[in-house]
Amino acid sequence: MNIRKTACALAIGTLLSLGAGQSLAGDTIKVGTFLAVTGGASFLGDPELKTLQMYVDEVNAAGGVDGKMVELIHYDTGGNAKEAVNFVKRLIQKDRVDVIVGGTTSGTSIAVMPLVASSGIPFISLAGSVKIVQPVQKWTFKVPHTDAMAAAKIFGDMQRRGITRVALISGSGGFDKSGREQSIQLAPQFGITLVADESYGAQDTDMTTQLTKIRDTDAQAILNFGFGTGPAIVTKNVRQLGIDLPLYQSHGVASKKFIELAGDAAEGVRLPAAALLVTDQLPDSDPQKAVLTAYKAKYEAAHGPVSTFGGHAYDGFYIALEAIDRANSTDKAKVRDEIEKTKGFVGTGGIYNMTQSDHLGLGMDAFKMLEIRNGDWTIVQ
Amino acid sequence: MFDQILQFILTGITVGATYALVALGFAIIYNASDVVNFSQGEFVMLGAMSTIALSAGNGLPLWLAAACSVAMVICVGLMLQRFAIAPARGASVVTTIIITIGASIFLRGLALLLWGKDIFGMPHFSGEVPLRIGEATLLPQNLWVMGGASVLVLGVHYFFNHTTHGKAILACSCNRTAAHLVGINVGMMMLIAYGLSALLGSLAGILVAPITFTSYDAGVMLGLKGFSAAILGGMGNPMGAVAGGLLLGLIESLAAGLISSGYKDAIGFVILLLVLFFRPSGLFGKASAERV
């Protein structure tokens, strides 16, 4: 072996050990994410990615966490569960990320949970389904409200108004169906009987038939769990038929678009929604006010109207970073334990208090009950 | 009970009138060229979307925006025939159908790029105060849809039975070569057929948009329902397509009202299958003899 060869081998060895040293010592905190930035769920995934990128830049500009820079590694799943599993495998094995914050849709989140559990990496999901945290899985957490919470909030409000008989009408989409299931399950706990259970197709253009049947029941209120054009058409049809019952919608329509589409018919409609929607109307004493105002201003300055979905990414990202900060390391087990100990974290979705048995940590106060008055949201207490 | 059924029927006729207009567009192109034009639903969507874009975005009055958008969609129909269908003249009918499916995907993508994924609404033509018939109610816009559909259907009927151009189109469908030999400009007739379908589609879109809202992908389901209606009525028969549309709307509404709203689409499709089983050429279609 001549000198040149030895030098070469030494150099390569040094480089290799340097590379290994880097990933061991962890000069950067690697946050992995997989979102549906394209495809049918892109209106969820797009603001999520924009939010993550915005706040990674902000954290790094402020000097990182414990002096370590944050690096974001992203893959676009297009909402496809199979792709999601492949990308998460890549995040864990090739990119060697420290924590995963992502999973725009419930389908992609649930699909990667077994992989996350067997690899032992903390995962904070940004999807809605209650099945992500019930039953609790050691390595999986989530930040968005669940359908069950929305249903419970609605039924709680009905109970206060003395309503006991409710007609349910829901769409045929995944969100609608899951909401319907949760509503049927939860209604008895609030002393509510469902006197009708009607449904409509995702592209249906007229629901007067279903509502005529509801009109002839003895229902005291109508609950519509739906998403897209359906709820706006239901709202218009209810008024067209002259049905004078209180109408409740789900958080699926919590956007200005719904008021715009349903027009005057939307007056008096009640729905549960995240506080982000009514940031400006919150009293200054509200603990979330400062966080919400800051997030809204920052997002809207860069990308236009804010949505609650981007807010979920904010919550997941900061819960993960604060856990790493408290753990003083990126050791996965320690970080996981710290995420589970999250207490009083004020996010855009609410105030998070996680425990061993509750990997979401939001209370009922995370949802505000809103009523549409004069074409705008009003908080009802 | 009577009031309930009256409401189901009114709802069924409104929805059915929409299906009928889409089905009519299918039937016309099929009549002229034996091709099922699967971008018919996209004509409907384009009519509604471009009207909204012109009236809300550019501030044109609704009627002017509607007129401009109908003209635009007719151009799209003509271009589809001229640049996508005509060059494949020698191709089989199946190949041509695949071309129309491709065109529908292209038009949907174009709408997505132009107007985004949002859902859009359109103001009602004459207010939203419901009209009462007993306990049943009807929106003025529903009358617009039914009235518009009737006028268009009668117009199409007149065109095919009492004008030279209409009869020439029928002649092309019977025998292309013979039509050519007696001096009919076959290419021109095909253009007219596509233009007419586009006209019907866009008007249907504009009439129903205030009730149904619209978005870039609204044409998919409308196209499918219109196609089912045309099959139900008998593909080559424009009046059969209209009857099929009304029937499908009524079946869906009555099934939802009297049986179960969860199964109404399934019931509609089961009836369609039964009809095809017992009368393969549809309810009002002439039994087809193989042309040699």
Q: What is the pTM of this model?
A: 0.80
For range B9-28, the mean pLDDT:
90
Instruction: With CB atoms and an 8 Å threshold, state whether A264 touches B128.
Output: yes
pLDDT of the residue at A251? 87
CA-wise closest residue to A79 among A50, A110, A102, A108:
A108
**Non-local CB neighbours of A351 within 8 Å, separated by 6+ positions:** A287, A288, A344, A345, A362, A363, A365, A366
Annotated domain spans of chain A = 26-146+290-366, 148-279+367-380
* Residue B234: strand, helix, or coil: coil
Asked whether the beta carbons of A150 and A179 are under 8 A apart, the reply is yes
Tell me how crowded residue B82 is: count the other CB atoms within 10 A of its CB: 14
Q: Please name the CATH architecture into which domain A148-279+367-380 falls.
A: 3-Layer(aba) Sandwich (3.40)
Q: Which of A209, A216, A261 sits opposite B11 (nearest CB)?
A: A209
Question: Which range among B195-199, B218-222, B236-240, B287-291 has the greatest average pLDDT?
Answer: B195-199
User: A32, A294 in Cβ contact below 8 A?
Assistant: no
Q: What is the pLDDT of residue B248?
A: 92
Please report the pLDDT score of residue B281 as a whole number.
81
A282-296, B39-53, B166-180 — which is least confidently predicted? B166-180
Average pLDDT in the B122-127 region? 88
The predicted pLDDT at position A9 comes to 54
How large is the average pLDDT for residues B108-114?
A: 91
Q: What is the ipTM of this complex?
A: 0.81
Residue B287 DSSP label? P
- Distance in angstroms (rounded) separating the CA atoms of residues B116 and B209: 17
Count of CB atoms within 10 A of residue B127's CB?
Answer: 10
Is it the case that residue B292 has pLDDT exceeding 70? no
Q: What's the pLDDT score for residue A11? A: 52
**Taking CB atoms and an 8 Å limit, are A206 and B265 in contact across chains?**
no
The torsion region of residue B34 among left (phi > 0), alpha (psi -120 to 50) and beta comes to left
Determine what percent of chain A is predicted with pLDDT higher than 70.
93
Collect all residues of chain A within an 8 Å Cβ-Cβ radius of residue B12. 209
For the record, the structure tokens of B266 come out as 């399934």
Q: What is the DSSP letter of B119?
A: -
**Predicted local confidence at residue B287, as pLDDT:** 57
Residue B68: predicted pLDDT: 94
Of B211, B222, B262, the CB nearest to A206: B211
Cβ–Cβ gap B11/A261 under 8 Å: no
Helices A106-119 + A81-93 axis angle, to 10 = 30
The predicted structure's pLDDT at residue B279: 84
The verdict on A209 touching B (C-beta cutoff 8 Å) is yes
Output the DSSP codes for A151-194: HHHHHHHHHHTT--EEEEEE-SSHHHHHHHHHHHHHGGGGT-EE
Confidence at residue A307, expressed as pLDDT on a 0 to 100 scale? 83
Is the pLDDT assigned to residue B230 strictly greater than 70? yes
pLDDT at position A20: 42
Quick check: B51 pLDDT over 50? yes
* C-beta separation of A199 from A254 below 8 A: no
Tell me what pLDDT residue A5 has. Answer: 58
Low-confidence ranges of chain A (pLDDT < 50): 1, 13-25
Question: Which B-chain residues 230-269 have CB contacts (< 8 A) with chain A?
Answer: 253, 256-257, 261-262, 264-265
Strand partners of residue B131 = B138
SS3 A288: coil
Comparing CA positions, the residue from B9, B234, B24, B1 lying closest to residue B150 is B24
Number of C-alpha atoms within 13 angstroms, CB side, residue A319?
40
Does A26-146+290-366 match A148-279+367-380 in CATH topology? Answer: yes
Domain A26-146+290-366, CATH homologous superfamily name and number: Response regulator (3.40.50.2300)
Q: Is A12 helix (H, G, I), strand (E, B) or coil?
A: helix
Mean pLDDT value of segment B193-216: 91
pLDDT tens, residue by residue, B132-162: 887 788 889 999 999 998 999 899 889 988 9
**In a 3-state reduction of DSSP, which class is residue B150?**
helix
